[in-house]
């Protein structure tokens, strides 16, 4: 994260914790690293230790010993053996207080429902689950939260979740899974808004590959020749072709194209990337190498921040 972005994020979090709007004056004369360190200390000092949200935040981050966790559970009347579903929500450029209020209103009838603000853009929702609750219900709840935030509240939100439900003692593991699901989802499945840890598919496999192995595979596929940049028309065509199981007739129908026009586009794509995606093996190779190259670009961008 860039220093300016980090500074603004800390200022927002400080405002959320204190209710006071802060500003930095005479930025030209200030040391950026020192300013960030001071802001971080202020944010930490205003996280009141007797707040339930702060206790749960530390539980999620794995910062408490078993004895501290048990003491906190008793203090805040949280049954340590209750099974929770965990949802990790990311909301861009919105008021944290509004997000928390919306979520708490949405599930106000639940017997045990907790919203934990991790910072101004990230929230964890913990919902107690029934013993006989169907797996499909968790996905339905994630979609409901997304619909309310994106559609009714006009917020740009994404939700990450897992399938395993756990007690308070194990929530830090589920939290790490949700963080990973969000990270992988935003690299490989940006067209989606719900990322399930158990359904990350080949994206999780690629994410765990060493960069050197990724570079070697790309070199094996393309050699010294670099594939051309695909224009929007090509990207749309490839997506539709894959979505329709490499079926030319169905793809042409979906795109409202004559069959010959679609064939011409596919030949144009073959010249651009060196792979005829009408062939299953080539289509599979293209899909994997495209995801690997996206992962490599993401890693490179992270280094520059």
Residue 244 in this model has a pLDDT that exceeds 90: yes
Contact between residue 60 and residue 169 where contact means Cβ atoms under 8 Å apart: no
Residue 119 in this model has a pLDDT that exceeds 90: no
Which whole number is the average pLDDT over 48-72?
86
**Is 268 strand, coil or helix?**
helix
* 303 sits in which H/E element: helix 280-304
Return the structure tokens found at 219.
């070199």
Among the candidates 204, 239, 272, a domain finishes at 204
Q: Are 59 and 163 within one domain?
A: yes
Q: Are 268 and 133 within one domain?
A: no
- DSSP codes of every residue in 146-193: HHIIIIIS---EEEEE-S--B-GGGHHHHHHHHHHHHHHHHHH-TT-S
Classify burial at 249, counting beta carbons within 10 Å of its beta carbon; exposed 0-12, middle 13-18, buried 19 or more: exposed
Contact between residue 122 and residue 88 where contact means Cβ atoms under 8 Å apart: yes
Q: Are 161 and 194 within one domain?
A: yes
Taking only the tens place, the pLDDT of each residue in 221-243 is 888 777 777 888 998 999 999 99
Residues 6+ apart with CB under 8 A from 166: 83, 84, 86, 173, 174
Residue 120 in this model has a pLDDT that exceeds 70: yes
Instruction: Give the domain CATH number at 226.
Output: 1.10.10.2840
Instruction: Label the pairing between strands 157-161 and 194-196.
Output: parallel
Q: Looking at per-residue confidence, does 99 or 256 come out higher?
A: 256
Which whole number is the average pLDDT over 233-260?
93
Q: Within 13 Å of residue 281, how many CA atoms lie on the same side as its CB?
A: 1
Q: Are 173 and 77 within one domain?
A: yes
Of 25-34, 62-71, 143-152, which gets the smallest average pLDDT?
A: 25-34
| Pure H helices in 160-279 | 171-188, 202-207, 211-222, 232-243, 248-255, 259-273
Taking only the tens place, the pLDDT of each residue in 183-226 is 999 999 988 899 999 889 899 999 999 999 999 999 998 887 77
Q: Tell me phi and psi for residue 160, to 5 degrees.
A: -120, 140
Among the candidates 180, 204, 228, a domain finishes at 204
Which whole number is the average pLDDT over 141-165?
83
- Cα angle at 226 between 223 and 227, to 5 degrees? 115
Residues in the chain: 305
Q: Are 185 and 287 within one domain?
A: no
Q: Are 129 and 183 within one domain?
A: yes
The model carries a pTM of 0.76
Which structural domain range is residue 40 located in?
3-45
Taking only the tens place, the pLDDT of each residue in 261-293 is 999 999 999 998 889 999 999 999 999 999 999
How far apart are alpha carbons 36 and 3 in whole angstroms? 8
Q: Are 131 and 66 within one domain?
A: yes
The candidate with the shortest Cα–Cα distance to 239, out of 176, 290, 184, 294, is 290
The candidate with the shortest Cα–Cα distance to 171, out of 81, 109, 52, 111, is 81
Q: Are 107 and 218 within one domain?
A: no
How far apart are alpha carbons 86 and 79 in whole angstroms? 16
Number of domains in the chain: 3
pLDDT of residue 130: 66
What's the chain's average pLDDT?
84
Q: Are 94 and 197 within one domain?
A: yes
Among the candidates 204, 239, 268, a domain finishes at 204
Q: Are 57 and 181 within one domain?
A: yes
Q: Are 139 and 56 within one domain?
A: yes
Q: Are 252 and 112 within one domain?
A: no
């Amino acid at each position: 994260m860039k220093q300016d972005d980090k500074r603004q994020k800390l200022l927002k979090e400080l405002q959320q914790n204190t209710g006071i709007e802060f500003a930095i004056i005479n930025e030209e004369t200030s040391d950026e690293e020192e300013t960030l360190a001071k802001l971080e200390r202020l944010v930490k000092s205003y996280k009141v230790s007797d707040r339930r949200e702060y206790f749960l935040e530390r539980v999620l981050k794995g910062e408490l010993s078993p004895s501290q966790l048990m003491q906190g559970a008793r203090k805040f009347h949280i049954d340590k053996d209750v099974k929770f579903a965990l949802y990790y929500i990311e909301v861009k450029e919105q008021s944290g207080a509004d997000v928390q209020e919306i979520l708490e209103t949405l599930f106000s009838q639940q017997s045990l429902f907790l919203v934990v603000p991790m910072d101004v853009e990230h929230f964890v929702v913990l919902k107690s689950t029934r013993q006989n609750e169907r797996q499909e219900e968790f996905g339905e709840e994630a979609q409901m939260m997304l619909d309310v935030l994106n559609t009714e509240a006009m917020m740009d939100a994404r939700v990450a979740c897992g399938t395993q439900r756990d007690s308070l003692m194990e929530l830090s593991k589920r939290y790490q899974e949700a963080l990973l699901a969000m990270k992988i989802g935003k690299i490989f499945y940006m067209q989606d808004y719900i990322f399930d840890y158990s359904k990350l598919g080949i994206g999780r496999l690629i994410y765990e590959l060493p960069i050197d192995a990724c570079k070697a595979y790309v070199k094996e596929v393309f050699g010294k020749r670099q594939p051309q940049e695909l224009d929007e028309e090509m990207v749309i065509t490839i997506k539709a072709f894959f979505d329709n199981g490499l079926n030319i007739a169905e793809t042409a129908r979906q795109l409202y194209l004559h069959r010959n026009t679609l064939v011409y586009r596919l030949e144009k794509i073959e010249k651009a990337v060196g792979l005829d995606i009408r062939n299953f093996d080539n289509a599979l190779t293209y899909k994997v190498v495209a995801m690997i190259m996206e992962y490599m670009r993401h890693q490179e961008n992270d280094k520059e921040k």
